[in-house]
A and B are shown apart, each in its own frame.
Chain A
Amino acid sequence: MLYEIPQIEHVNARSTEEAIYWLSRYGDKAKVIAGGTDLLSLIKDKINGPQMPIPEVLINIKTIPEMDRIDYSPGKGLSIGATTTLYDIESSNEVREKFGMLADAAHEVATNQIRNMGTIGGNLVQRPWCWYFRVPQFNCYKKGGPQCYAISGSHKYYFSMLGLGVCVMAHPSDTAPALMALGAEIVVAGESGQRRVPIDGFFLGPQEVFETVLKPNEIITEVFIPEQPPNTRGSFLKSRLRGTWDFALSSVAARLQITNGSYDDAKIILGGVAPFPFRVPLAEDALRGKRVDEEVISLAAAVAVKRAHPLAQNGYKVPLTQNLVKRALMSASGLEAEV
């Protein structure tokens, strides 16, 4: 049982600059560690492939003081340091009051222990929770291998229903759909300084090996959410197999702006059903300008799953997601759904 982790070197970075220095110096031998809940499991299971060497150097970024913070400035927005734990986010009064959808999403992640360890940055860059990816025997596409094994294999639960490309993973993050609905920006630091990436452009499609635009020697330093207009209402709902804790079979983040009983604007993001948090603009259009009404909502929910192209075993996700969208929209609109 002793030492399931292979020999590693470890360094505590004391600044973002230093972390990037070590990352650049050790190249693909090095990985950044924050909560470690995903990374250490991958290392213990010796998951590797042509595009996925087992790390030999771990750079701890939890020791960078300015990365663990939640700052809210009224009128501007919310700035969350990358190593802030999910528990700190769900239990922050400011997040709960002003960006409730994010607090709900953070609360839906795994279990107490994982939320006490796992960070917001890590939640965004976690690798696929696909059972072919998570065993060393399959040299799957996401490790740099030739093909996806889930398409012809078992893909009932944590897989895409949107048939978008080579790999059929479903993006596992719960906070990502909420952050996308809130129009967040991801602040990324690298060799040439900082850049701000709108979250709509942060995740890549399944034809890419990596899930995000993050380069090997870049790290997330901050997640920024702009102040929401006063008439904004939101809802995050997640459906899962196991009640106590599990990844999403399907999740929905809905952000609505309602004035005088009609929708000014809407943003609907689906999680757990596509290789990246999936925005459904046509469903948003079905709400915009319309009266707040159950029929309008039902139509938008039907439109949200119109592009669905489920795999052989996960067709059930289509009605599941449709109903989840409806429930999220009803709740954000302040309407009671008929059970």
Chain B
Amino acid sequence: MTSIGELRLHMEPKTLVDENRHQNQPRRVRRIVLSINGDSHSIEVDARSTLAEVLRENLRMTGTKLGCNRSECGTCTLIMDGRTVFSCTILAVEAEGKCIETIEGLASGSDLNPLQKAFIKNDALQCGYCIPAMLMAATALLRVKMEPTEDDVRQGIAGVYCRCGAYPNIVRAVLDVSRGQVDC
């Protein structure tokens, strides 16, 4: 008896019967180009690697942290195509062609950006592990809401857990920047 799967082998969809046919096969390893903070990185990745793993292990950009690795704690938050996402739950092969922004892209050289300065000025961190994610979430928020209310800020960083409970100072730092109360 012929199974449905075998039958389909003889009637492959049009998209497979083109010159790319052999390129588009399920693969375990793939060479991809990632655009990170404006730079292109061509790397060979395992299909099972998450974006966070590739950033930290392959590219040695360890600013992005991993906490729960289950899209719950938010520590791996970065910006992809202008929106915050959990990099622990995105396969690196699926991040190809996206514009990825990480904490490493905020400062220029040793010059911190106003948001980073505001975090220091407001003592907005204790252990600091969630801070890269907080900064990325706040960056994404400030791009769409230049003058956020306290509630907007709390909503904006809601997906990131701070186990130290530094929230009041983090919220104050973000509000400070939006009000231009940081010396740059």
Give chain A's interface residues, CB within 8 Å of chain B. 1-12, 14-15, 17-18, 20-22, 24-27, 33, 36-37, 40-41, 44-45, 57-60, 62, 87, 110-114, 116-117, 191, 217, 244-245
Q: Would you give 16 A-B contacts (Cβ < 8 Å), ordered by A?
A: A1-B53, A2-B53, A3-B49, A3-B53, A9-B27, A9-B28, A18-B24, A21-B8, A26-B26, A36-B89, A40-B71, A40-B89, A45-B70, A112-B84, A112-B155, A116-B85
Interface contact tally, CB-CB below 8 A: 131
Chain A contact residues: over half helix, strand or loop, or mixed?
A: mixed
Q: Knowing A11-B24, A21-B13, A25-B8 are in contact, say whether A113-B47 is a contact too (CB < 8 A).
A: no
Instruction: Please indicate the chain A residues that have their CB under 8 angstroms from the CB of B169 in the complex.
Output: none
Q: Is the CB of A113 within 8 A of B71?
A: yes
Count contacts on B: residues with CB < 8 A to the other chain: 44
Q: Knowing A1-B66, A191-B4 are in contact, say whether A114-B158 is a contact too (CB < 8 A).
A: no
The residue of chain A having its C-beta at the shortest distance from the C-beta of B81 within the complex is A116
Q: Is the CB of A58 within 8 A of B85?
A: no
B117 at the interface (CB under 8 A from A): no
B111 at the interface (CB under 8 A from A): no
Instruction: Please indicate the chain B residues that have their CB under 8 angstroms from the CB of A110 in the complex.
Output: 159
The residue of chain A having its C-beta at the shortest distance from the C-beta of B96 within the complex is A12
A39 to B70, CA, bound (A): 11
Q: Is the CB of B27 within 8 A of A10?
A: yes
Q: Is the CB of B86 within 8 A of A114?
A: yes
Q: Is the CB of B5 within 8 A of A114?
A: no
Q: Is the CB of A11 within 8 A of B90?
A: no
Q: Knowing A58-B91, A113-B77 are in contact, say whether A17-B13 is a contact too (CB < 8 A).
A: yes
Instruction: Please indicate the chain A residues that have their CB under 8 angstroms from the CB of B27 in the complex.
Output: 9-11
Q: Distance (Å) between the CB of B55 and the closest chain A CB?
A: 12
